[in-house]
Every structure is written in structure tokens, then in C-alpha cells.
Structure 1
Amino acid sequence: MKFDRYAAAATAAALLAAWPGLAYGQTTYDDASPLPEERSIGHIEAVHEFYGAMPSGVAKAPNGRLFVNYPRWGDDVPYSVGEIVDGHVVPYPNEQINRPDPTHPATSLLSVQNIVADYRNRLWILDTGAPKFAPPVQGGAKLVAVDLTTNKVVKTIVFKPNVLLPMSYIDDARFDFRYGKEGVAYLSDSSPSGPGGIIVVDLASGDAWRTLEAHPATQGDPSFIPVVEGIEMMEDGPDGRPQPVRLAADGLALSPDGDILYFSPLSSRHLYSVSTKFLRDRNAEDGEVEASVRDLGEKGASDGITSDANGAVYAGDYERNSIRKMLPDGTWVTIAHDPRILWPDALSIGTDGYLYFTANQLNRQAQFNHGRDLRKKPYTLFRIKINAQPLQLKP
């Protein structure tokens, strides 16, 4: 039989028209067949769902109690610190202290950004004193310690004007209780309009001082534009044009020996470190402090970071819906990747071997979406098993 190439070509064209997938190697076509999807990594568990205000911080105390906080950024926030009890969040330590009172700013919680539980079962509350990112209320920015046995405030440290600048926004806190009479705290100033920096606090006297102020490592990357959920995260500038989000030093973590403070600007993908020896020394020259700063390379864009007793550092990656872990040798691994991790914020390690973190959809707020609030409730508190203990630097 003579081969008719024109007839063969016509037949092939008819087959391809009927089964377009054949052109790409597909042998069958089924509308019900699932298409490939982005895979998840690790196993995250939902601990609590929030149907009210957006949370930011979380703290898992050694005695097992679980706390969250809500900054007053614009949502209706009935209380800025709460405890999760039997599936419900209740104001902590009481309703009265959670009623913001600008006339008594030192004794009421104005806008809490972060909370940390220490080895003595005290909850440290970091109050920015700056609702809606406004300039801090004079006398309102403070550290408050609550004894979890008595549920009473046992210490309040109010920051003085020379420590808290007109546009400061204190964001994170880490503690080392081995120095001085009661220990020291390291705070980050993530001011959106600068200068950012690191604040050191003597917990006994309440004396505090700023360091690495306006240093390039604490200010963030001026060329950084985050891409979250596939969209460049920008906010409308004064002229109506989109402009990058600029936030300085944010997440903090300590090394197991307390000699190194890790920090990360929100507007950056890099992790930095600095020697705490020079941070604690008020007489150290600026050049000594700056000379001890190290750029440890990219880790992903993070809001919160923390560390465990073995020396591993954990960081959220809000661009990739992930939680990452830096091993002691400096390499990074992804321990959780899940589409539900919508902006991982604060991280807290419990004595139960779990890493707790909030996913609060921060990037979906109206200010980053031309005035449209795209957040979808609930916000979620997750945890993932890491089989490690929290770092507690005891005297």
C-alpha cells in the first residue's frame, strides 16, 4: 500500500485537535485528575484559632501556660495580653491593666508587641507605648514582669527619652540573667523611620542604653522589596505612589553561651550577629561594637527569630510560608513549609519540645493593599515538634 503523507498529516492533526494533551506527551485527559501542587514540608499543628484581633507574639512558659499578645495597630483590641485557657483567650494578668490609660501610661498596657517567658516562670511584657505606630506615649514604653505563680506585676521598667527616640518602635526582647544583680535584656528598635538599633537594659537598675544606632546592619537593606504570596509588598507613600516597607532591627536570638546576639531587620533577608561583651559595656567605643558585627548571609526574610539550648537558630520566612533552622555549623534547613503559614510572626520554644509561632497575615493588612483589608479569619497559632529545649541563661 502506498504511503499517503498528506492523509497521515491530516489524521495526526485531527487527533491533536481531539486530544490536545497528546501534543505534550499526555496519553489521557481527565478533568477530575488532580494537578501537581506545591508540596508541604514538616508537620505543623494548629493550637488555637483567632477570630478577633490579629495576634503577634506568643510565649510558652516552663509551667506549660500559653500566652499571646495583640498590638494595637488598628484592630479592636479589648486586651493586649491574653492567656489561652480551655480553648479561650482571657486577659492577662487582669482586665484592668489591659485598659490603656494615657493618663497613667506606666501602669497600663498601651500596645504590647512581644512577650517572653523566663526560667523562673515570669512573663515579660514588652509594651511599645506606640499604638498605631504613632510616636511613643511619654512614659508608656516599658518592660513589665509578671510572676506566673501570683499573677502579679513584680517589676516595671519605663524607658527614658534618651533611650526611646520620637519614632522608636521596640519590637523584640531576649534575656541573659547571668550579669549584674538581676540580668540584662536586649531589645530591638525596628523604627520605620529610623534610626533603628539595639537597646541594652540592666534589669536591676532599669538603666538602659542604645547601641548600633543607625548601623547599616540594624537599618535593613535599602533595596529590599519583599515578595509575599507572589506580590511585591509595598505601601502607598505620601504622593500615592507605592513605596517599599522600611523596618529596622526586628527579631533577636542569643547563642547558648550568651556571647553572641543574633539580629535580623524586617526589611532584609540577612542574619547578623554582634558580640554581647561590647553591647553590655557602656564604655565600649562605637568602633569596638561595630567591629564585632558579622553578616552571616541570607536566611530568608523574617519577622521573628529564636534559638534553642543546643545552639540552633530558628527563623520565620514570610516570603516562602516557611520556618527555617540554622544548624550550629551555619547551614540552613527548612523544617516547615505550608500554605497556611501566612506571615509567621513571633516564635517561642516550650519545654515540651515544640516551637510555637503565630501566622497573622500581616501582609494582607489594608496599608499594604491600597486601603483594602484582605485578611481572612481565623489567624492561627501553630506548633511544630523540634525535640529541643528553650535557651535559658540562668545565673
Structure 2
Amino acid sequence: MIGLGGAPVALTVAASCFMLVLLPAQIVANDNLRVAYQWNEIDFVFPSEAERQEAITTKRYIPENVLPVGLEVYKKRLFLTLPRWKEGIPASLGYINLNETTTQSPRLHPYPSWSAHKRISETEAPEIVSPFRIRADRCGRLWVLDTGVEELLSNATVTSPTSLLVYDLHNDNLLRRYKFPADHIKENSFYANIAVEDTDCDDTFAYAADLGSPGLVVYSWKQQESWRVKHHFFHPDPLAGNYNITGINFQWDDGLFGIALKAQPDGYSTLFFHPLSSLNEFSVSTKVLRNQTFATGENYHEFKILGSRGPNGQAGVAFVDQKTGVIFYALPNLNAITCWKTSNRAYTIKSLGRVYMSTVDMVFPNDVKVDDEGNLWVLSDRLHQYMYESLNRNDVNFRVLTATVKDAIQNTACDTNIKPLPDIITNLGDILRPSTSTVAPKAGSSGASALSLATGVMAVLAMLSAFSRVRI
């Protein structure tokens, strides 16, 4: 009996059955993330209810204007950035205690205090103006990337220079404020993300991504100075600027955004990076970036292109789990979190794993982190709806989801307990696919072709059976 393409039906069915048995272990995600916290609107722990009401009356606090954008977890605290993109943001950085039992709309404590968010005078900005992303390092420091821009979505005002604020998480004291030099601020500059290389607490490096005027700032904690790096790969792809999320269509031309570090044995790290409006992933060694002369000179070929995430694969933030070597991506166009094993030589759609996807819980994933205990944390916030329409205060708009990294990557292409399949099995579809040759077959050759196909299929099935039992 002959089926589609001339392949014997019995053999085709047998091969399909074996594929169904084996492949789910590598391509079917469990969607193991759970919602840990959720909010319709963000509220704060004010000194008193009277002060809260006064803040509402004076429009110092407008609940519907508060949007969480960045996330970090350190010890028993979960931090959220709340940039002053609209008026009515009383505190632009807050936290909740993870040991609190309330999961529905827990109120945020301002970090490090209320006074850090209050204007000293009409002409003097508060200590923290409008942070976008934050990073807690292994040395117990919280790095705050403050854009210094207020009311970005209406009447944008630069209240203070873009700065790095570094706090001691043991006592919440401000350790250092570093203002970016004037030559780091270009027309349309907007520093939106930060990564910290903390192998040495006394010789730490921070990397800040400028998505508006594509570039990367490298800051040396030890030298207390910075330099700006340029590269073609930092720029957006003009063919990847279209977004369609929950029926809202818009176009962005954002450059360098996603940056994530993976420590290497030589004492340096690999910086994985991508523009937001791009489908491709790139990398460069921090050995290049940390050398100011080399980083700002002729270094084009030191930067590598890894591959493409495919259609709608624009990625926002990214983060590497140092223990497993898995990098996690937020894909806003797909309302999804995906992953890739950095040990994988191939960077293709097939090598990426789907961690979680939902048009309810994961609408615009905006930040991703892994804490010191091996837990993955994700913030989704409906950013596009906040910007182009309005949020419904009767709906859950913001969610923090979590799972252990082990559970998050289980049964995905990133599962470290599953060996990669050999090329012959990965390309099984090509092996079984009928020839596309336009040359007519010789008379009487169909029987030989069927026998050859049968022999090939049986050999592949034997290999499938063996590899389906192989685990690391």
C-alpha cells in the first residue's frame, strides 16, 4: 500500500509513532511557571492613610499611571521599578517582602525610603528619578539605572543626567552615584537595561544598553570611569520593527536592549546581546569590552552573530542562569518566555525551548531574572496597552510569575538532563522526505526504492529506540 509521496504507509506510520513517543521529551514544554503576585493597580505603604489620600488629592499619586517595568529578587525582597513615564508616581522604586502571605495586590514599600523619592526643591531632583532596570549583584549591591527622564509618554523632561546609583542591600545606604558623562548621551539616547559582571567585588563592571542611540556603556567600579562602545550589531533591523500584541499593532525601531552575561573560566564573561527590534542574537567577550582602548577602537570582527529566533522572535530582556548555562528571553510579540542552552553550538528555532506562553498571564513579558536560589522570576505588565490605549483597573494587569529553573526548563530544548539528538535523528524529516528531483525514475525502480526506504527507516527506528532511553 502506497501513501503520500510514494512511501509505504506502514513504514511511515511506524516512524511517526516512534517520533511521537520520543520527541515530546524534548519539545513539549510544561508551562510550569505559576503566578506568585498580581495587581490590578500598584499601591504603596504610605506613612498613614491620611497621607495616601492627600497624595491622591494632589495628584502626587495617580494609581492608574503606575506601571512596573523592571524586576529583581534579592534574599527575601522582590524589587520593582516604576518609572515616572506619566505624572502621579509617588515612588519609582519599591519592594515587597517575599515572606508576606498576600499575593493579591501587595502594597509596595518605597526603596530605600520615602525621602529618596521626594523633591528637595522645585529645581532639585529627588535621589531616584525614573529607573528602568535594576540588578542585584552577588556582593550585596543593588545597581539602579536611572534614566532621569520624567513624563516620557507626554511632556518628556530630563530632570537629571542618566546615572548609576549603587546601594548596599545590607543597610540600604547609597554607596555611589555615577553620572554618565555628556559624551555618553547622544540624541535620542535612552538607557534601558543593565548587566553586572561581579566576579570580583572590587573590580566589578556594569554594562548599560542604549536603545535609542544604539551603544553600550561600560562602567568600571574600580576605576570609577566609563566608556561608550559602538557596533553595527547594536542597531535595529528595519524588517523587525512591527509588533502586534493582543490586537494592538505598533512599530518600534529600538536598538540594543537585551544584554546577559555568562561567566567564563578565563575570568571574563560572554555578553549575549540583541536589539529589541531584531530577530538575531549576538555575542562578544568582555575581554574586548573591558579594554577601553580595544573596545572603542577597531573591533568589528570580535563581535559574533549566533543565529535567528525566527518570525516574531523579537526579544526584550534576557538573563543567564549561571548554574545551568541557560539563557532566558522575553518575547513580547509571542507573549512568551523562551530559553537556549549557551553550550549549544546551534542557535536556531529548533534549539530554542518554550518555557511559558499565555495570552492571559504573559501579556508583554518585560523583565526576567534568576535569583541566587535558582528560581526564575518573570514580570508581565501589558506595557503596549498602557502606552497606546489604557489599562482596565478591574482587570489583573501586572503579574510576577516564578518557578525553579529546573522546573521551568523541564522537557524543553534547554533541559540539561536530556542529551542532544544526533544529526541523523534531528534531520529525520529530511531523511524520510521523498526526493524532490525532477528527473523521472527508471522503470521498475519503485520496488528498490521502497526496499531502500524500509532499510533506512528500520535503522533510524533502532537508533530512536536507543536514544529515547539515554539521559545524562
1:116 maps onto 2:135 in alignment? yes
Alignment-derived partner of residue 79 in structure 2: 67
1:332 maps onto 2:345 in alignment? no
Q: Distance in 2 between matches of 1:111 and 1:139?
A: 9
Alignment-derived partner of residue 277 in structure 1: 287
Q: Which amino acid aligns with 1:196?
A: P
- Asked whether the equivalents of residues 278 and 288 of structure 1 are also in contact (C-alpha less than 8 Å), the reply is no
CA RMSD of the aligned region, Å? 2.5
Decide which of 236, 249, 266 is 2:276's aligned counterpart: 266
1:132 maps onto 2:147 in alignment? no
Q: Distance in 1 between matches of 2:287 and 2:218?
A: 11
Alignment-derived partner of residue 13 in structure 1: none
Q: Distance in 2 between matches of 1:74 and 1:135?
A: 9
Decide which of 189, 204, 209 is 1:168's aligned counterpart: 189
1:312 maps onto 2:326 in alignment? yes
- Asked whether the equivalents of residues 92 and 130 of structure 2 are also in contact (C-alpha less than 8 Å), the reply is yes
Do the aligned partners of residues 140 and 71 (structure 1) sit closer, same or farther apart at CA in structure 2, a change above 3 Å counting? Answer: same
Q: Which amino acid aligns with 2:148?
A: G
Alignment-derived partner of residue 234 in structure 2: 218
Decide which of 84, 98, 101 is 2:96's aligned counterpart: 84
1:182 CA displacement = 3.0
Alignment-derived partner of residue 197 in structure 1: 215
Do the aligned partners of residues 167 and 246 (structure 1) sit closer, same or farther apart at CA in structure 2, a change above 3 Å counting? Answer: same
SS of 2:184's equivalent in the other structure is coil
1:181 CA displacement = 4.2
Do the aligned partners of residues 180 and 356 (structure 1) sit closer, same or farther apart at CA in structure 2, a change above 3 Å counting? Answer: closer
1:75 CA displacement = 5.7
SS of 1:341's equivalent in the other structure is coil
1:232 CA displacement = 6.3
Q: Distance in 2 between matches of 1:344 and 1:75?
A: 24
Aligned sequence identity (%): 22
Q: Which amino acid aligns with 2:373?
A: D
SS of 1:365's equivalent in the other structure is helix
Decide which of 335, 358, 366 is 1:321's aligned counterpart: 335
More displaced, 64-73 or 127-136?
A: 127-136
Q: Distance in 2 between matches of 1:354 and 1:190?
A: 28
Q: Distance in 1 between matches of 2:70 and 2:84?
A: 12
**Deviation string, structure 1 residues 231-281 (Cα, Å, up to 9, x no partner):** 4632xxxxxxxxx21111111101221432111111112211122222111
Q: Distance in 2 between matches of 1:277 and 1:186?
A: 13
Do the aligned partners of residues 379 and 230 (structure 1) sit closer, same or farther apart at CA in structure 2, a change above 3 Å counting? Answer: closer
Q: Distance in 2 between matches of 1:70 and 1:145?
A: 17
- Asked whether the equivalents of residues 135 and 166 of structure 1 are also in contact (C-alpha less than 8 Å), the reply is no
Do the aligned partners of residues 138 and 373 (structure 1) sit closer, same or farther apart at CA in structure 2, a change above 3 Å counting? Answer: closer
Do the aligned partners of residues 75 and 312 (structure 1) sit closer, same or farther apart at CA in structure 2, a change above 3 Å counting? Answer: farther
1:179 CA displacement = 6.3
1:156 maps onto 2:177 in alignment? yes
Q: Distance in 2 between matches of 1:346 and 1:143?
A: 19
Alignment-derived partner of residue 185 in structure 1: 206
Q: Distance in 1 between matches of 2:157 and 2:216?
A: 17
Do the aligned partners of residues 70 and 58 (structure 1) sit closer, same or farther apart at CA in structure 2, a change above 3 Å counting? Answer: same
Larger helix fraction of residues: 2
Do the aligned partners of residues 132 and 356 (structure 1) sit closer, same or farther apart at CA in structure 2, a change above 3 Å counting? Answer: same
Decide which of 291, 295, 315 is 1:302's aligned counterpart: 315
- Asked whether the equivalents of residues 139 and 160 of structure 1 are also in contact (C-alpha less than 8 Å), the reply is no
- Asked whether the equivalents of residues 40 and 337 of structure 1 are also in contact (C-alpha less than 8 Å), the reply is no
Q: Which amino acid aligns with 1:207?
A: E
SS of 2:300's equivalent in the other structure is helix
Decide which of 36, 39, 48 is 2:37's aligned counterpart: 48
- Asked whether the equivalents of residues 100 and 110 of structure 1 are also in contact (C-alpha less than 8 Å), the reply is no
- Asked whether the equivalents of residues 110 and 140 of structure 1 are also in contact (C-alpha less than 8 Å), the reply is no
1:373 maps onto 2:390 in alignment? yes
- Asked whether the equivalents of residues 139 and 201 of structure 2 are also in contact (C-alpha less than 8 Å), the reply is no
Q: Which amino acid aligns with 1:128?
A: T
Decide which of 357, 364, 367 is 1:346's aligned counterpart: 367
Q: Which amino acid aligns with 1:314?
A: F
1:136 CA displacement = 7.2
- Asked whether the equivalents of residues 136 and 168 of structure 1 are also in contact (C-alpha less than 8 Å), the reply is no
Structure 1 stretches lacking a partner, 5+ long: 1-38, 235-243, 389-395
Q: Distance in 2 between matches of 1:268 and 1:364?
A: 21
Q: Which amino acid aligns with 2:205?
A: V
Do the aligned partners of residues 285 and 176 (structure 1) sit closer, same or farther apart at CA in structure 2, a change above 3 Å counting? Answer: closer
Structure 2 stretches lacking a partner, 5+ long: 1-27, 43-65, 101-105, 408-472
- Asked whether the equivalents of residues 266 and 302 of structure 1 are also in contact (C-alpha less than 8 Å), the reply is yes
- Asked whether the equivalents of residues 251 and 302 of structure 1 are also in contact (C-alpha less than 8 Å), the reply is yes
- Asked whether the equivalents of residues 71 and 78 of structure 2 are also in contact (C-alpha less than 8 Å), the reply is yes
- Asked whether the equivalents of residues 217 and 226 of structure 2 are also in contact (C-alpha less than 8 Å), the reply is yes
1:199 CA displacement = 0.7
Q: Which amino acid aligns with 1:322?
A: A
**Deviation string, structure 1 residues 76-105 (Cα, Å, up to 9, x no partner):** 321111011333311010011122567334
1:98 maps onto 2:117 in alignment? yes
Decide which of 329, 333, 357 is 2:378's aligned counterpart: 357
Q: Distance in 1 between matches of 2:295 and 2:165?
A: 30
Q: What TM-score do the two structures reach when normalised by structure 1?
A: 0.77
Alignment-derived partner of residue 233 in structure 1: 249
Q: Which amino acid aligns with 1:373?
A: S
- Asked whether the equivalents of residues 122 and 146 of structure 1 are also in contact (C-alpha less than 8 Å), the reply is yes
Alignment-derived partner of residue 227 in structure 2: 209
- Asked whether the equivalents of residues 139 and 159 of structure 1 are also in contact (C-alpha less than 8 Å), the reply is no
**Deviation string, structure 1 residues 51-79 (Cα, Å, up to 9, x no partner):** 13110111111x23211111122263211
Aligned residues: 331
**Deviation string, structure 1 residues 120-167 (Cα, Å, up to 9, x no partner):** 222111101122347773743111111121111111111111112242
